């Protein structure tokens, strides 16, 4: 674990495990948080209760500066979160996928693949948002609560629904 200085606050029952954990300054990790493997957390980041951030040895998760990840959210796979992002409670950001093309083999035995997810700067994800592998959410976008993002969202968009679609542009 590498700590860049400043203040690092870690709540009760937090689990931090991995070869390449890097934390910036002024990071707050609340209770029951799990952070595993190759994860970089920027400066001035708040990670709420019961958040899980994890990836396998081939993937990497990067969280930019001045971000908030609210309680019960999960980030896994290959994910980049930009600066000044707001992630509301219960969001699932899943930057990997199970392979399942061979009907003669158990899905569990077919491994995983990862295109990755990129969330650019100044994005707000409402509560219960799900983002699937291979998606980019453009700078300054807002994703409405309970949306399922399956395709790229252009910058400065307001998008909602399942599947998520752009309903308006931010002026």
Q: What is the DSSP letter of 153?
A: B
- 122 contacts: CB under 8 Å, gap ≥ 6: 82, 83, 84, 85, 139, 140
For the question of residue 98 being annotated catalytic, the response is yes
Ramachandran angles phi, psi of 53, nearest 5°: -125, 115
State the CB neighbour count (10 A cutoff) for residue 17: 12
Q: Using alpha carbons only, how large is the chain's radius of gyration in Å?
A: 16
List the catalytic residue out of 7, 20, 58, 98: 98
Show the beta-strand stretches assigned E in 67-152: 68-69, 74-77, 79-81, 86-87, 92-95, 97-98, 112-113, 117-119, 124-125, 130-131, 136-137, 142-143, 148-149
Q: Computed from CA positions of residues 83, 94, 27, 47, in that sequence, does the dihedral angle turn out positive or negative?
A: positive
Which sequence positions are flagged as catalytic?
A: 98
């Amino acid at each position: 674990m590498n700590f860049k200085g400043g203040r690092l606050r870690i709540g009760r029952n937090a689990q931090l495990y991995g070869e390449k954990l890097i934390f910036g300054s002024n990071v707050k990790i609340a209770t029951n948080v799990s952070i595993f493997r190759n994860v970089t957390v920027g400066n001035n980041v708040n990670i709420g209760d019961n958040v899980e951030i994890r990836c396998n040895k081939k993937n990497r998760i990067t969280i930019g500066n001045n971000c908030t990840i609210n309680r019960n959210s999960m980030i896994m796979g290959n994910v980049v979160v930009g600066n000044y992002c707001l992630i509301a409670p219960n969001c699932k950001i899943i930057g990997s996928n199970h392979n399942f093309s061979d009907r003669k083999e158990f899905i569990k035995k077919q491994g995983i693949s990862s295109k990755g997810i990129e969330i650019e700067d100044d994005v707000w994800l409402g509560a219960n948002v799900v983002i699937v592998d291979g998606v980019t959410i453009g700078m300054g976008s807002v994703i409405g609560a309970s949306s399922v993002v399956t395709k790229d969202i252009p910058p400065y968009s307001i998008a909602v629904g399942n599947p998520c679609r752009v309903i308006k542009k931010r002026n």
